[in-house]
Structure 1
Amino acid sequence: STPSTPGAAATPSNKTALTKKTGLFSSLRSEVNIGNLKATNKGAKLVELEERQTGQVPRKVFLDYIAAAGGLGFLAILLVLLFLDRGLTTFTDVWLAEWIESDESDDLKFYVPIYVGAALLASVAVYCRSIFFMVVMGMRAARAMHAKLLGVVLAAPMVFFETTPSGRILNRFTTDTEFVDNVVLQNLQQWFNCIFPVLSTIVLVSLSLYWSLLWLIPVMGLYVLLYRHTVSATRDVQRLEAVSRSPIFSHFSETLGGISTIRAFGASTRFQAASERLINQNTRCNTAQYLLTSYSTLILETLAASTVGVAALLPTLSFEFGNEVNVALAGVALASTLEMSQYLKHGTRMTLEVQKAFAGIERIVEYIDNVPIEAFGGRPPPQGKWPSSGEIAVTDLCVRYRPELPYALRHVSCTIPPKSKVGIVGRTGSGKSTFLTALWRLVEAEGGADGTGARAVCIDGVDTADLQLSGLRSRLAIIPQDPVLFNDSVRYNLDPFGEHSDADITRVLGVVQLAQLVGTFEAGLGHKVTEGGQNFSVGQRQLLCLARATLRHSLVLALDEATASIDNETDAVLQQAIRDMFADCTVLTIAHRLHTIMDSTVVMLFEAGELAEFDDPEVLLSDPESLFSRLVDETGSAAAHLRDLSRRSATLRTTEPH
């Protein structure tokens, strides 16, 4: 097959980067964009600005939290416990007042048991309410929201991790998750401890000093006005602080990753200065939070003091106007009113804190709802052994990483015969790795024979576009340029699902010449692999990845520049193992060193996102005008050796028995 004529590249539309601004703390908002890349052309930047919500916390955030905590049923149980707790506490106060007003001749045995019983029941209700809310509902919500957040991030496509700084993700799993785990629970607990006493006080006051409600209601209105006056700024600054925190995580992570390079180039001072700038911006947001808290506290204290003063005058004024008042009940009401001023003050603060906490939860809900996830549904792969031969048919394949970006691959069409050894070459950015990502559906393909994407890639006649991702990827094998090992045993890294015996694993290790090394370990196959496989060399890690791929018995294997970071000796071992273990498989090799693909049966050469050449390497090398021939000639003195390798491989293929 020959590649089709490439089509024209798509032209991305322009977009002006939008940032949300309001009047309050606009200077802070303009500063917290440090650490994010800026551009005016959509698609010209890889990392987008982190979005920040404005206005009220959506009702959906509260409903999602309630659902995670157990739903309306659990909420109803909590409300019953809250009313029972406060009702019993109020009853003990009223009962004590009745006891004081009673005649001395009344039997104490009538009042004491009821008072003690009500107090004990109130204590039990408080304990049950606290345990049910903090432990049952709180832990349930924390587990559910963390599981959803983790599930969404793990299911996100690769493009999400390419466009989202790691610090932004870390921010969601650390500080923002702390709001779900701890902050919102503590604030809601204190909010309950303030609001329900206020409700019970209103009931008491209405029973004894009912006319004082004319004063109490306006006072409560003042607290509501104060809340509305400060809640917008408090909530907005909390969001600013959260956004300003992400660049700190990103910068710290990037600095750790490149610490050797930073020191080698003497750039430590510059990176330290950048870190200080980011921390200063976050500190400014924190300072604004503290100032707002101090401001609201000052007004609340002033209002509370005024409330206490007026409350103290009420009984005197009542007597002055000749009203009959139950002295004991009035005393309880007065004491409760004095307490209520403190509850109103603290309750208003806690309402502001609850809003701040839910602004943090809002960021988690935003990720859960908005982070794109891969399409894990679809048809299961065919029963039995599939792929059965390893034929790959590509029809009019077009790939781009985001809708606003130009195509990374354009109208690629070819058929790779079964058992082919395919060398994929091309300059940086030509589309080599993108071709493999399309086969594995790390990026969803566009195009196809009918223009809808159907049958863009078929393996052994099976359209992969609507296959279950887990089923598709489990039937293919890949060895990436950066070998991936997990912090577990050697056995787990080679056979994570426990499908093979130790004898099979040892046999495969022998093929890749690692059996002797593993045999020297005291624990053998149970030897612990450290994080990232740091207790193995890069070459040994690649060979372990090859052993893992071999155990899967897949008929399609891809190597994405797997030999780029290893020495020549390990490269030779790797190449020989591939020839021995995957002789009857289709092997796709992206070449970093041309000598690794000179024995290929087919060469695919990509140029600017197009499949420019697709043929036997000997045929391409025989044409001095072919791009592959020119690429070999650019190696200088090694060109003759490469051509000789190709000739010898072609001769061996023709003489080998079929």
Structure 2
Amino acid sequence: MAKSGEFAEFVAEYVVKQEYEDIDEKEMQILAKLKQTVKPLIERQESHKTEANTENSVHRLRSQMSINETNNNTTEKSRTVHKLQECNGKLTQMEKPVSSTTKLDLITKYIQLFGRRSLFTIIFAYIVSTISTMASGLWLSQWSTDVIDGTDINDNNEWRNVRLGVFVVFSVIQMLAIPGAQGAISLGCVSAAKQLHSLMIERMMRATISYFDTTPMGRTLNLFAEDMDVLDSAIGFVIRVSFLKFFALIASLVMISLETPLILLAILPIIVVYMLCQRLSMTSIRQITHLDTSARSHTISYIAESYNGTAVIRAFGADRDFGRESHRRLDAHNRCQYSLLVAKCWLAVRLESLGYSIVLLSAVFAVAFRHTVGAGVAALAITYALNITDVITQLVINVTITESSLMAVERCLAFRELPIEAEWYNERTKPADNWPTMGCIQFTDYCTKYRFGLDLVLKDIAIDMKGRQRV
């Protein structure tokens, strides 16, 4: 023990590690003497223990930092792999249906582009035209009733002139109201198309390069060709017919109800079935229209790309392969066209069947109330009932086409969310009038990436090039 040999070191290590629990007084006295004897060894053991703990802490800290760094690198790699898996190695993005806005919001936005004044003018003109049409029909029925009742007004020139004069007034009102409404519709559609075209041109001219990398040229051409044609001409026609048939339906229901108001209770369920058929068919027609637009875009893109690479195609002798692929894409587009035609025919057949039931009800009520309803009014009601079949059918079909045409408006309005480059002029970064005062170029923590969603290719670049300094 006095020589501080190996046994003394063993005792010192035992004393340091020993926990003093369940030890009596004699053992405590012996341990106290041993501590005094091997005190230098105990201090050295405690020093070694402290150093070992410190080294272990440092080692654990380094291990934790290494694990965190590995996890961070793994996370970054997983993000990159996830991005590559999302795009599946393809740069071009598939066209997706635009459904960010509801139908009511879309109609409201189009009305804003169309113009509220034009809309009010159209409604007022069609109301005046409808009232004059119903009034002229009632006036003619009353005129025919006078002859049946034995009061031949042809012998009375003054009364005949009154009948003719009133009828001419109603006809003139219709002649002025209908062209006025159609003119307002044309002006409103042209105004909306002009604003949408200006929006698309402005966003397209300032679009980022990534948009042109990920968007096929055929899709862009289809937007500026097919969709703009819908906005310029097609949508105006279907809106015109929809307004005309809607007010004609109101006039027909009013004239049929003159026979007996009870007929409206029988016609109301049929109108509800009309609406259900329209809702059911609209879902299919909307999806088929989207498929048709997508197929047309793919066909246009393929033909344009094939035309640009004609020399390469001929050099490799792949004319037949490209011809077969072109025919396949055209067949896909034609299938969409025929499917759309079949969907419209499906709707027309069911609407025609429902319309003839209204004619049957009108005839049954005319016979049932023959003692209380005049012959002229009954004939007028049945005449309008015969026309109501075509009116409701055309109304539902044109409303359906109008809703599908509004998809072109939705696609054009989607250009507002297209990412664009910075403004041409920025007052905040505008240089002074006396710029440049000295010829130097300086970059401070400059970072850049190829496009949004990718990793940085340059990170924290700092360059300071003085005037007249060689680079």
Q: TM-score, normalised to structure 2's length?
A: 0.76
Q: 2:133 aligns with which of 89, 100, 108?
A: 89
The structure 2 residue matched to 1:190, chosen from 241, 258, 276, is 241
Q: Counterpart of 2:86?
A: 41
Give the deviation of 1:264 after TM superposition: 2.1
- Between the aligned partners of 1:388 and 1:188, the Cα distance in structure 2 is 62
Amino acid at match of 1:138: C
TM-superposed deviation, 1:117: 1.0
1:160 matched to 2:226? The reply is: no
Partner residue of 2:120 out of 54, 62, 76: 76
Aligned residue identity for 2:269: P
**Structure richer in strand, relative to its length:** 1
Deviation of the 1:82 alpha carbon: 1.4
Q: Following superposition of structure 1 onto structure 2, how do residues 458-497 of structure 1 map, counting pairs within 5 Å?
A: none
Q: Could you say which structure has the higher helix fraction?
A: 2
Give the corresponding residue for 1:372: 419
How many angstroms apart in 2 are the aligned matches of 1:419 and 1:108? Answer: 103
User: 2:184 matched to which residue of 1?
Assistant: 132
Alignment match, 2:265: 214
| Deviation readout 1:581-600 (Å, 9 max, x if unpaired) | xxxxxxxxxxxxxxxxxxxx
2 CA distance for matches of 1:243 and 1:273? 19
Equivalent residues of 2:145, 2:376 under 8 A apart: yes
Amino acid at match of 1:41: E
The Cα shift of 1:190 comes to 1.2
Higher relative contact order (CA 8 A, sep 6+): 2
For 2:281 and 2:233, how far apart are their aligned partners in 1? 24
- Counterpart of 2:79 in 1: which secondary structure? coil
Deviation at 1:196, TM superposition (A): 0.6
SS of aligned partner of 1:210: coil
SS of structure 2 residue aligned to 1:244: helix
| SS at 1:414 equivalent | strand
Seen in structure 2, the aligned counterparts of structure 1 residues 56 and 413 have a Cα distance that, compared at 3 Å, is closer
Matches within 5 A, 1:558-597: none
Residue of structure 1 in register with 2:144 after alignment: 100
CA distance in 2, matches of 1:144, 1:198: 33
- Alignment match, 2:448: 399
Distance 1:96 1:170, change over 3 A: same
1:333 aligns with 2:385: no
1:15-66 Cα offsets, whole Å, 9 max, x none, are: 879xxxxxxxxxxxxxxxxxxxxx6335843222211236996323222221
> Which residue identity lines up with residue 341 of structure 1 in the other structure?
T
Correspondent of 1:381 among 386, 411, 430? 430
Q: Distance in 2 between matches of 1:352 and 1:52?
A: 18
Shift of 1:124: 0.9
Q: Partner of 2:79 in structure 1?
A: 13
Structure 2: runs of 5 or more not aligned: 1-72
* Residues 417 and 268 (structure 1), Cα distance of their counterparts in 2 relative to 1, 3 Å cut: farther
Q: Is the 8 A contact 2:126 2:244 kept in 1?
A: no
Structure 2: distance between partners of 1:245 and 1:230 = 22
How far residue 109 of structure 1 moved from its aligned partner, in angstroms, is: 2.3
- Please give the alpha-carbon distance, in whole angstroms, between the structure 1 residues aligned to 2:78 and 2:464: 30
The CA deviation at 1:195 is 0.9
Q: Deviations over 1:545-576 (max 9, x none)?
A: xxxxxxxxxxxxxxxxxxxxxxxxxxxxxxxx
| 1:120 aligned residue | 172
| Whole-Å separation in 1 of the counterparts to 2:349 and 2:259 | 32
2:65 maps to none
- The correspondence for 1:204, drawn from 233, 255, 264, is 255
- Counterpart for residue 61 of structure 1: 106
Paired letter, 1:129: A
**Alpha carbons of 1:250 and 1:99: their partners in 2 closer, same or farther (altered >3 Å)?**
same
- Secondary structure of 1:415's aligned partner: strand
- CA displacement 1:170-204 (0-9 Å, x = unmatched): 11101111111111111111111211111112222
> What is the Cα deviation at residue 115 of structure 1?
0.9
Q: Secondary structure at the match of 1:398?
A: strand
Distance 1:314 1:16 in 2: 70
Q: How far, CA to CA, are the matches of 2:214 and 2:451 in structure 1?
A: 10
CA distance in 1, matches of 2:243, 2:192: 18
Q: Following the alignment from structure 1 to structure 2, what is the Cα–Cα distance between the partners of residues 385 and 238?
A: 58
TM-score of the pair, normalised by structure 1: 0.55
What is the alpha-carbon distance in structure 2 between the residues aligned to residue 411 and residue 342 of structure 1? 71
What is aligned with 1:284? 335
Aligned to 1:632: none
Paired position in structure 2 for 1:298: 349
